[in-house]
Structures are given as structure tokens and as C-alpha cells.
Amino acid sequence: MPLSTYQQKSIGSAVVVPNTPVMAGAWTEFELVYTAGFFGLDDSGSLKIVWRFACDMAGPQFDDPTAPNYVSIIAGNGATLDYRFDIKNNIRPWDRTLYIKIVRGYFKEGDQLRIRFGDRRGGSPGIRMQTFCEDTFELKVLVDAFATCDYVELPESPTLKIIPGKAVRWRAVLPTQGTVGQPFRLCLKTEDPWGNPAPPAVEAVQLSANLAVTHLPAVVKWAAGQPVLVIENLVVAQAGDLRVQVSDTEGNALACANPMRAVAAAGWNPYWGDLHGQSEETIGTNSIHDYFTFARDRAFLDVCAHQGNDFQITRAFWDTINQTTADFHAPGRFITFPGYEYSAHTDLGGDHNVLFLREGETIHRSSHALIADQSDADTDRYTARELFETLKDRDVFVYAHVGGRYANLRHAVGSGLTPAIEIHSAWGTFEWLLHDAFDLGLRPGIVANSDGHKGRPGASYPGASKFGSYGGLTCFLCASLTRESIFDALRRRRHYATTGTRLWLDVHAEGDGRTARMGEAFSGTGAAVTLKLDVLTPSAIERIDVFNGKDSVATWRPDCPPDSRRIKLLWEGAAYRGRGRETNWDGTATVVGNACLAATPINCWNPERPLTQTDERRISWQYITTGGLAGCELLLKAADAGELAVETPLVRETLPVSAITAEDTVFEAGGLGRRLRLFRVPEENATVSLKHAWNINIRPGRDNPLYVRIRLADGHLAWSSPIYAAP
């Protein structure tokens, strides 16, 4: 909604000094200087300096000049000020608010207010800048010059440019499946500690593969200043599972690409997509053009969609969304869909992602809450039930989402539209939403996306904000890379979801002489079916669970000898379904009567909060979960000596090391799936591909949603869409 524009040019001006680029996530100092305009600033007048919801710049503090994130605020004319910071005290997306009020005195024209962010003069290290890149990090200044609480936005906002830090991480991406004799590409990328693409320090890298690959260079040179390198027209001459290693010129490993299954002929191909995220036109970062450019050229996605909150999408921006998806759409190369996030209150239906097959469709919003132009308000659908009724005969698909609000699936019952369940995003992991669908008799597929707000679809790191997880990905199993094929895969539930990793997965069921592929409904199965899995993974497989609906009916683990010295400690879950679900797991693990030789973090996405090993006895951490899992792996000196004491705000337990087995020891912690797990894993686990089968009993008189959840040693998860079996 627009602020007042009354006499903007007479309200004042603001600048940032020094106006030089700032490294993402760096400790910095800068000053915002406001100069009062003709009307000055009346006694009890105030200012708001606001920045975006998505920004994870550290919150300012005003009390300790020696401590991090100290901000000083001085009135040049000596007026007495009162000020405070609130993370949500202004109209979205400009939520983050520094409020400054004159309590004695006033400003006349030319008087200045100086706000020094990260003031280092008293010993503070500065303020920690936001962790993601942005060409125009904007600090809006809103002025209540007349002390009426009617704020006028300055006509020009000060901005800073946020640039990447030094590259510390390498990524390599292959297609998940390739055909013998057909060209494919290898994509390389380097990232800074916060996940921003950043140019590497090296000039060349070495490449090697376990299969013969035509045109794969042994050494490839990196273009100066570029964070990505794409090698085209590679060809594999034989079927098999291709793995490509990236090393420096001294032979030190830098990255291993996700595996590619090379087949003689393909009836279908896996394509990767992130179909949920926002840009600065709603509540995200950077423009919608930047958004799709990143997805295609930095995350190497095959499929992407933009999902702005509907109550912020003006008619003009809806036109822009449609035009941008049309401009970027390139069948066979990069598929886009127009769409939006339906954002009703949970009781009215909650969050659902709406994807249209083509441009030119009408947007049916949940409201016009932040849209001044009400001329198309008659197109609103205030409940998800009304929305589904309107959309049921159109070329559209819907995801049920958990964000701030969560989807209320009761509105889908009997609608003719069954949403896919977004089981994971940057907000966390939400298996409970899938269980809701089963309880209501729905037959959803399973997807994962980022819901990224930081301008990095397909490679969405959580940064230092309330987003606790790395963003997810969905793999679509299609005959070709077209809009129609992706939609067909969605409608047939031929897709699987991951927490951001890429793996090859095939799940099918056999019963009564027939076969059902992933996502299919399968009646007349008889009393049992054989569920078959074939999976190829980028890191070792730690556990596979087979589910019939909400119930775990089988588990596979690699063989773990009882004398293994590796212990896994995981914590997971959320406080409850809605906003404020973050769960604090800050804690320690202490080894008594033994020694910890090494501690490896799992899903430690925030470099500011590393896992720390003080000595051979003590490990400490600062973690939150919002539904997902995190933890660490400990390598002990002896397999069965001593005790392990774990202390967190929710769980405090001590148990003998000898009592820890390959079976989970679980300590429940209330809330929504909050628990701490301890279990033993093999010292060496080389299982990166697996074919396995289970005989599953089919329960009469009900749906039997059969699916698998795969947990990898690096902490990533994957879910197949269910096969719906009935006797």
C-alpha cells in the first residue's frame, strides 16, 4: 500500500557513507545521514528506517558500544531522541524497522540525524551485513515531519551494493540421467561461505571420471571473475553410473558431481525444478528477471516458477510475471510456469501455490490486502474451497505449502483438485502435512521447493534468518522437457522430492502380475505387493524407511558392526505448526571415559554458528530446527568405553557408549515431532547405490500409500511420491 506522498521534496533527504560495496555476511560500518527538509521535523515527530523482511542483517543493539551490532544515533542539533528496533513494525515487505522519535526539541531545515550502523569507535566489530547478494540493498526512510503519524517516504532511498565473499565451496552438477551417445553438460560453480556464487581463486581445475567421457577435458581453465563454468557437448559411450571428480592442479579434491545414470535408451528423463520462491516485487530479494536468471544460470535448474504472495501482486506485476515467464520459457532447455502463492488465513485455506500451464490466466487472490487498486477485487476467492471450485476445469496445478501460514487441506476434500504436498522448503520439513492429506483420504504427490526469499532459487541457503533449512528440489519424471510433460508428471504424481540434493530414484510396486510406477493408483493387488527400489546417490545411504501411509513398515540400513566408533547425534522437529515454530537445540555433548577424535556437523548451514570441538571431551553447538533435522557425527577413540552426556534446552540425557546401537535411541521432546536421536553408523559406508525389495502387506478397505524416505549420511532426505495400492 502506498504511503503519503505529501510534499515529498520538502521532507528531506538521506545518504549512506561510505557508499562502497559490502561483502555479504561481513562485519561492517556505515552511516546513514538524514537531512531535514523545508518542513523540518516537529517536536514528537519521528522517522522509520526500514529494510526488507528477507534481509538477515543482524538486528541492531544500542546499549554496548563494545559489542557486536552496536548502532549509535545522534541528533546534530542536540535534540533528545528515543529509539528502538522491531523486526516487524511496518507494512510488508519493509518489516524491519528502526524507529526514532524526537522527545525534546525539533529539527529545522538542514539539521541532521546521523545513524552509524556497526559503530566501531567504542570497540564493536561492526554490524554483520546480510548474507546474500543484492545490487541495491535499500534502506527506506519514512518521515513523520508533522507529528501526525502519517509517514512520507523520501523520494530517493539510500542503497548499498552487497557482493559475494571469497569462494570456499565447489559445486558440480550433472544431469541425473543421460543417454549413451547423446550430448550432456557439466556445470561447475564456486560459492562463498553463505552460498553466494563467487569467483574462485584458482585459474584451472582438473576433471576425472569413472567412465569414458568424450570431450571431457583433463584440465579446464576458469574465466577470471566468473563463478560458474559450463562444459557442453559431453558424451558417454557406455551405460553405467557416471561420477565426475573436480580437483585442483595438485590433485586435491574440490567437489564430486551428483551421479548420472547413463542408459542405452530412455523412456523418461528426470528434470529438476524449484517452483516456489519470491523476488523483491513482493517479499523477496532482487528482481523477477534476476530470479529466473539465477535459476537457469547459477542453480542449473530445468524448471522454475515464481510464487509471489497474491495480496501483494498488483495488476501490473501480474502482467510482468506472465511476460517474464514467457520470455524465459525455452522448451528443451528451461521451462517456466506463471503462477502465484494463494495466501489466505489458515482457517480460510492457508497457503497454496498455484501453477498455470500457460500465460494469460486470471489471478484469483485471497484478498487485496496490500493492493490499492481494487478494480479487480471481484476476482478474489476468499477461501481455498472457492478457489478450487473456480480452478477445477482449468489447466492448473496446486501445491499445499507450509510457510508463515500453513495449508488447510480440508478445503481440498471433494473439490476435484488434490494439491501436491510440499514436504520441505527453506521453512523446514513438514511430513505432518502429508499425514493430514492421508487422514482426509486425499491422494497427493510429494514435492519440495525452496520458497526462497533471498534471490537464489534452486540453491537456497537459509542464511542467518529464521529460515532453518536449505531449500528443496523436485525431480519430475518426463518424456521430454516441455510444460505439457511437467504438468503430466504432476498430475500422475511421477516425481520425487529432496531437501536440495540430486539423486536418481525409481520406485515401483508389483502385485498380482501387474506393475505400478511411482505415483500410480494400483487396485486389485491382492494381500501383498513387492515394493522395489533402485537409487543412486551423491553421498552414502544411511537409512531407508518404507511407509504405508503414516506407518513405517520396513527399514533398510547398511550393516553396522557393533565395534564401530562412529556415533550419530541428530535433533529434529518444530514447536508447532504455525509461525514461531523455531526450536532451539543449543547444547553440548560430553564424552566421559573415552575421547572424541573428530566431530562432523550435519546440516550446519549458518557459518556464524559452527559446531565447535573444544577438546577430546566436549563438543558444543548453536542450532535451531523449524521442522527439519540437524546434528553431528562423532568419531570416538574406543567403541564401547565411557559415557556420552548430551545437554540441550529440551533433552538432557547420559547413557553408556556401549548402549548405543544401530537402532535409534530416541528422546522425545514434545512439540511437533521434536526429538533427539542417537545411533551407531559404520566407520566406512560406501553404499551410494542400492537395489532392494520389500514385501508389503496391503490393508483391506482403505488406501495404502506406499512410499520411501531416504536419509543420506550428509543429512539430506528424499521422498518418493506414493503408489496408492488397494486389494
Q: Which of 707, 393, 415, 394 is nearest to 544 (CA)?
A: 707
**Contact yes or no for 660/645 (Cβ under 8 A):** no
What count of residues does the chain have? Answer: 727
Give tens-digit pLDDT for 115-160: 999 999 999 999 999 999 999 999 999 999 999 999 999 999 999 9
How many beta carbons lie within 10 A of that of residue 514, not counting itself?
13
User: Is the predicted pLDDT of residue 465 greater than 80, yes or no?
Assistant: no
What is the residue-wise DSSP string for 467-479? Answer: --SPPPEEEEEES
C-alpha 314/C-alpha 40 separation (Å) is 34
Residues contacting 443, CB < 8 A, separation 6+? 418, 437, 493, 521, 703, 705, 722, 724
Q: pLDDT-derived band of residue 468, with 50, 70 and 90 as boundaries?
A: confident
For residues 260-283, give the mean pLDDT.
96
For residues 232-259, give the mean pLDDT.
96
Q: What is the DSSP letter of 464?
A: T
- Give the least confident one: 162-171, 222-231, 394-403, 521-530: 521-530
* DSSP H helices in 540-674: none
Name the 3-class secondary structure at 440.
coil
For residues 522-533, give the mean pLDDT.
91
pTM of this prediction exceeds 0.85? yes
φ, ψ of residue 639 to 5 degrees: the values are -75, -30
For residues 328-349, give the mean pLDDT.
97
User: Is the predicted pLDDT of residue 376 greater than 90, yes or no?
Assistant: yes
Q: pLDDT-derived band of residue 370, with 50, 70 and 90 as boundaries?
A: very high
C-alpha 68/C-alpha 129 separation (Å) is 11
User: Is the predicted pLDDT of residue 2 greater than 80, yes or no?
Assistant: no
CA distances from 504 to 158, 225, 537, 539, 688 (A): 47, 33, 7, 12, 11
**Contact yes or no for 557/542 (Cβ under 8 A):** yes
Strand-pair category, 159-163 with 22-23: parallel
Percent of the chain past pLDDT 70, that is, above it, reads: 100
C-alpha 323/C-alpha 289 separation (Å) is 10
Q: pLDDT-derived band of residue 81, with 50, 70 and 90 as boundaries?
A: very high
Residues contacting 35, CB < 8 A, separation 6+? 12, 13, 14, 110, 111, 112
pLDDT value, residue 65: 98
**Mean per-residue pLDDT of the chain:** 96
**Contact yes or no for 283/275 (Cβ under 8 A):** no
pLDDT value, residue 578: 87
C-alpha 343/C-alpha 358 separation (Å) is 21
For residues 374-394, give the mean pLDDT.
96
For residues 498-506, give the mean pLDDT.
98
How many beta carbons lie within 10 A of that of residue 379, not counting itself?
12
Q: pLDDT-derived band of residue 108, with 50, 70 and 90 as boundaries?
A: very high
For residues 96-111, give the mean pLDDT.
97
C-alpha 114/C-alpha 124 separation (Å) is 18
User: Is the predicted pLDDT of residue 1 greater than 70, yes or no?
Assistant: no
- Give the least confident one: 4-8, 435-439, 491-495: 4-8
Place of cell 550435519: 602
Q: pLDDT-derived band of residue 512, with 50, 70 and 90 as boundaries?
A: confident
C-alpha 471/C-alpha 468 separation (Å) is 9
pLDDT value, residue 727: 86
C-alpha 400/C-alpha 375 separation (Å) is 28
User: Is the predicted pLDDT of residue 536 greater than 60, yes or no?
Assistant: yes
